[in-house]
Chain A
Amino acid sequence: MSQPKEIFARLDRCVGCHTCDIACAVEHSKSKNLFEATSEQPAPKNRVYVEWVPRHHKVPVLCRHCEDAPCMHACISGAISRTGEGVVITNSDKCIGCWTCVMVCPYGVIGRHMETHKAYRCDRCPDLQSPACVNACPTQALVYRTIEAFSGDVRQKAAREMISGEGR
């Protein structure tokens, strides 16, 4: 079985342009088109948040689909479950808007849809090959890879830096 992919954020590459959160909101709109999405009611919601830590750090934050997801265990209506691909999803038909998931998410990435009184979060874009935020990121700060492939890259990069450092 192939390893499931995850969204990784490479903080050194994020320039804080917010292209990801616009792409996310568009993908979760009715029209899936930026121009129409901007006028939709209720307004489409983004599920990735580009945060700023003074003075120079930008941090894209999104649902980690935690292994022992606190939100899933805490949910009092059975609305949160894990798909076969390992994605933790909120079923909005079952969500009763009690906000228990918001209270227990240690990343603060579960949003509240005020108009529909439902919680929402990253669903890794089930209709796309790779998530909209990853596709849109102009600096490849967001990547969609397996843990193995991503950690392999990190190791290689570290090894290259070490070798080039020694050569100096």
Chain B
Amino acid sequence: MAVKQIQYVIIGASAAGMAAAVAIRKLDSGGSITVLSEEQDMPYFRPMIPFIISGKKKFSEMMLIGQGPYQGANIDVRLNSRAESVNTTDQTVTIKSGKELPYDKLLIATGSRPKIPSDLDGIEAEGVFVLRTTADARAIVRRAETSKHAVMLGGGILNLKAASALLERGLEVTLIIKSPEVLSQLMEPNDATLIRDALIRAGLRLITGCRASRILSDVSGVKGVLLDDGREISCQMVCIGKGVHPNVDFLRQSGIRVDGGVVVDRFTACNAPNVFAAGDVALTFNSTTGERIATALWTNAVEMGHCAGHNMAGQPTEYAGTLGVLNATQVADVPLVSIGIVHTFGTHYETHVSTAPKAYRKLVFTPDGEKLVGTLFVGDISRAGLYHYLIRENRPVKGIKSLIIKKQLHYGHILRETI
């Protein structure tokens, strides 16, 4: 008797979707895998799109299939195929063309889209951008070619990278943030001094403690930004980077439970049968605190997608959850790593801070001091993975605590603790 070929349908062709596709292919060589993408480009490493703006890399250098772990054969990626709705009774997905696609197993991996502040007027003007896709990056490049000054709204990692890319192109760039310092999701204001200095050295103008209330424009598009303190800044383009929303609107009639993001259990499954979710769109949980969280991190999306792929292909795999903060990057010439709980102002966490001219670190322990729950390294991030391991595994750190605080820990210590 012939075994029925399983039809896997994956909505979204970025980190979570492609990691799932590859995992499924490893476990099920015969099933059909269809990945739906609303974009025009083949899957790519989304965090690399600032390089399109700086011109340092071509699109062909950031394509995903065939690189790193993305080696699965026979995965049918359909571009320009936005999913419009899901019918969980008939087990079908309707795509933009009106075509219905049946599924045996479905993964929702539609990711997220940039938040647009509702209190900002004038965003329809030409020259106002968000940065999410290669198409966005190309549009930014076109406008940048005739612009002298760009204003960036929001101080997250992506906006800082976009700002650096525009600086590299030779534009003047001003970053406007409501918080007192940049990267407020990854550190507290007092932690950000080295980063601020690095940005200013790189040529960025930083305006803190205020927000843009209106984008000013004429027939040629953006000509300035009006701030809430009444100041007016002349510019030719604006980039909005104020976080993201999960892409869940198309699930409205589906019966799939959504609470901000798509609600999944520990095995990445939704409330509807044979439907799974992973990546930015999924509401997962924090492995330290157990709280429900949605993260928008490539690394998390890959891990969760990989896990969902196993579950879809019939190999139950529990997702261990994630940390709300898990970022490594380099801002201008300063590297940084931020992991776990790093916002400690007004809390009872035991916090150890060390400041040096070129390095800053903050180690956060539980109030009883027994476990490491957060780490921020700025300037010197060597061996950060050991600290990530301790946080993630919830390990008591008694015997090695002073080494952690002094950042002298190496794998030998962990090994000797174990054996």
Contact = CB atoms under 8 A, between A and B. Distances in A.
> Do A and B bind?
yes
Interface of A: 49, 51-53, 57-59, 61, 70, 72-82, 94, 96-100, 102-112, 117
A77 B412 contact: no
Contacts of B211: none
B385 A110 contact: yes
Contacts of A110: 385
Given A98-B329, A103-B326, A51 B411 contact: yes
Contact of A98 (B70, B328, B339): B328
A167 to B, nearest CB: 28
B335 A99 contact: yes
Contact of A78 (B67, B327, B339, B415): B67
Nearest to A73: B302
Contact of A103 (B51, B302, B306, B337): B337
A70 B47 CA distance: 18
B59 interface: no
B298 interface: yes
Nearest to B339: A103
Contacts of B381: 99, 102-103, 112
- Most interface-central of A76, A82, A102 (chain B CB within 10 A): A76
A91 to B, nearest CB: 9
B411 A107 contact: yes
A87 B389 CA distance: 22
Contact of B47 (A72, A76, A97): A76
Contact of A53 (B67, B69, B416): B416
A114 to B, nearest CB: 9
Interface residues of B, number: 41
A72 B69 contact: yes
A100 B411 CA distance: 18
Nearest to A79: B68
- Most interface-central of A80, A98, A105, A112 (chain B CB within 10 A): A98
B335 A104 contact: no
Given A99-B330, A102-B385, A103-B384, A73 B69 contact: yes
Interface string B358-391: 0000000000000000000000011111101100
What 6 A-B pairs have minimum CB-CB distances, sorted nearest first? A78-B67, A108-B383, A59-B412, A51-B412, A105-B385, A103-B328
A99 B306 CA distance: 21
Given A78-B68, A102-B328, A49 B385 contact: no
Contacts of A57: 412, 416
A76 to B, nearest CB: 4
A97 B64 contact: no
B330 A53 contact: no
Nearest to B62: A77
B328 A100 contact: yes
Given A72-B69, A97-B330, A77 B45 contact: yes
Contacts of B70: 78
A103 B388 contact: yes
- Most interface-central of B326, B389, B411 (chain A CB within 10 A): B411
A112 B335 contact: yes
Contact of A94 (B67, B69, B412, B415): B67
Contacts of A107: 385-386, 411
A115 to B, nearest CB: 12
B281 to A, nearest CB: 19
A112 B328 CA distance: 13
B410 interface: yes
B382 A76 contact: no
A47 to B, nearest CB: 13
Contacts of A51: 410-413
B299 A100 contact: yes
Nearest to A61: B411
A81 B411 contact: no
24 contacts: A72-B68, A73-B19, A73-B68, A74-B299, A76-B299, A77-B45, A78-B45, A78-B64, A78-B67, A78-B70, A82-B69, A96-B51, A102-B337, A102-B381, A104-B385, A104-B388, A106-B385, A106-B411, A107-B385, A107-B386, A108-B382, A111-B382, A112-B335, A112-B381
Contacts of A104: 299, 385, 388
Contacts of B71: 81
